[in-house]
């Protein structure tokens, strides 16, 4: 892809991208792309909600529409960013406007084979599973391409998702439900743990403010340490855990309650739900 020097220290391409759905995840992706990968003016967003569109237009200079329109045909990439429940209806309306574009879906569960059928056999589809830390450029996205995706389109898909973090390519679409369960939904598990730590802090006599400050900083610090350390996470855990000490007491309590087993079961249930979404809102 050719990048253009904007004369102000930034480089953008002329890549034209349309988003169908301008909600949370689309906004995170557009925030990473606009003015960095491509000009906001090269991004077109379709959403039923005029307020969401106005907000995106003001923040990023994107063009907008409340229904699928001719601008889509001029796009090289179409990002499907509606809920799985809305996908079939949206794709049916999109179908007349899809020719050679790369179609990039971020929806949980909905399989490429169903998107391909709804699009009349269109085979340039990349399924992606990003996560909300994309909002601050720290997302991670699992991705898988169908056979009809060219090497250049694959690079373009990677460029788009790397604008908001890192990417992991899969060789088998079936594995994307596992990615959804681990990293797609994962931020919610972390927030849940932070909320529990805050509640414990309060029950131990700290204020809500002190509790949230301690819990958040502990997650940020521990996550950074795990990310930066070459050592296994299990070793980092053992270093905190003095025999007969406080951490030992806490971890023994967690083991007795099988917290690890509960987390593993919870993540697996998210993967199952991904498959169910595909069955429920994909297959006809």
Ligand X SMILES: NC(=O)C1=CN([C@@H]2O[C@H](COP(=O)(O)OP(=O)(O)OC[C@H]3O[C@@H](n4cnc5c(N)ncnc54)[C@H](O)[C@@H]3O)[C@@H](O)[C@H]2O)C=CC1
Binding site membership for NADP(+): which residues? 20-25, 81-84
Asked whether position 141 contacts ligand A1CAB by CB under 6 A, the answer is: no
Are the CB atoms for 139 and 160 separated by under 8 Å? no
| Cβ atoms within 10 Å, residue 130 | 25
Binding residues: 20-25, 81-84
Partner touching 86 among ligand X, ligand A1CAB, none, CB below 5 to 8 Å by kind: ligand X
Min separation Cβ 174 and ligand X, Å:
17
Report 94-123 residues binding ligand A1CAB (CB under 6 A). 108
Binding flags for ligand X, 97-116, as an x/- string (CB under 6 A)? ---------xxx--------
Within residues 30-49, the interface with ligand X by CB under 6 A covers 46-49
- As measured in angstroms, the least distance from the Cβ of 134 to ligand A1CAB is 11
Q: Alpha carbon of 265 to those of 47, 69, 131, 196, 234: distances in Å?
A: 36, 44, 20, 19, 20
Separation of alpha carbons 185 and 284, rounded Å: 26
- Cα of first residue to Cα of last residue in the chain, in angstroms, is 38
Which residues neighbour 83 within 8 Å (Cβ) at sequence distance 6 or greater?
Answer: 21, 107
Contact of residue 241 among ligand X, ligand A1CAB, none (CB under 5-8 Å per partner type): none
Here's the x/- map for ligand A1CAB, 179-218, by CB under 6 A: it reads as: -x---xx---------------------------------
Rounded-to-integer distance, Cα 32 and Cα 4, Å: 17
Cα–Cα separations (whole angstroms), residue 55 to 62, 64, 83, 169: 10, 10, 20, 32
Beta strands 11-13 and 63-65 are unpaired
Q: Among 125-133, 226-234, 242-250, 257-265, which window interacts with ligand X (CB under 6 A)?
A: 125-133
Window of 30-38, 73-81, 178-186, 203-211 that interacts with ligand A1CAB by CB under 6 A: 178-186
Contacts of 128 (CB under 8 A, 6+ apart): 104, 105, 106, 141, 142, 143, 157, 161
Show the site string, 225-264: x = touches ligand X by CB under 6 A, - = not.
Answer: ----------------------------------------
């Amino acid at each position: 892809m050719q990048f253009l020097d904007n004369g102000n220290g930034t480089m953008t391409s002329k890549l034209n991208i349309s988003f169908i759905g301008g909600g949370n995840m689309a906004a995170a992706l557009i925030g990473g792309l606009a003015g960095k990968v491509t000009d906001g003016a090269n991004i077109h967003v379709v959403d039923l909600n005029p307020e969401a569109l106005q907000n995106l237009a003001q923040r990023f200079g994107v063009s907008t529409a409340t229904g699928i329109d001719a601008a889509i045909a001029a796009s090289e990439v179409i990002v499907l960013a509606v809920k799985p429940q809305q996908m079939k209806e949206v794709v049916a309306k999109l179908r007349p406007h899809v020719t050679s574009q790369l179609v990039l879906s971020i929806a949980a569960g909905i399989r490429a084979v169903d998107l391909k059928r709804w699009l009349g056999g269109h085979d340039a589809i990349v399924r992606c599973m990003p996560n909300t830390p994309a909002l601050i450029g720290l997302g991670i996205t699992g991705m898988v391409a169908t056979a009809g995706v060219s090497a250049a389109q694959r690079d373009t898909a990677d460029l788009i998702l790397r604008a908001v973090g890192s990417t992991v390519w899969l060789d088998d679409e079936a594995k994307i439900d596992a990615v959804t369960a681990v990293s797609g939904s994962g931020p919610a598990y972390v927030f849940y743990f932070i909320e529990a730590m805050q509640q414990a802090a309060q029950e131990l006599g700290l204020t809500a403010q002190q509790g949230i400050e301690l819990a958040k900083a502990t997650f940020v610090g521990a996550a950074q340490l795990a990310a930066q350390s070459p050592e296994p996470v299990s070793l980092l855990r053992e270093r905190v855990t003095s025999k007969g000490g406080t951490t030992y007491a806490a971890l023994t309590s967690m083991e007795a309650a099988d917290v690890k087993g509960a987390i593993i079961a919870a993540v697996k249930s998210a993967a199952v739900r991904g498959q169910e979404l595909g069955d429920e809102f994909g297959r006809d």
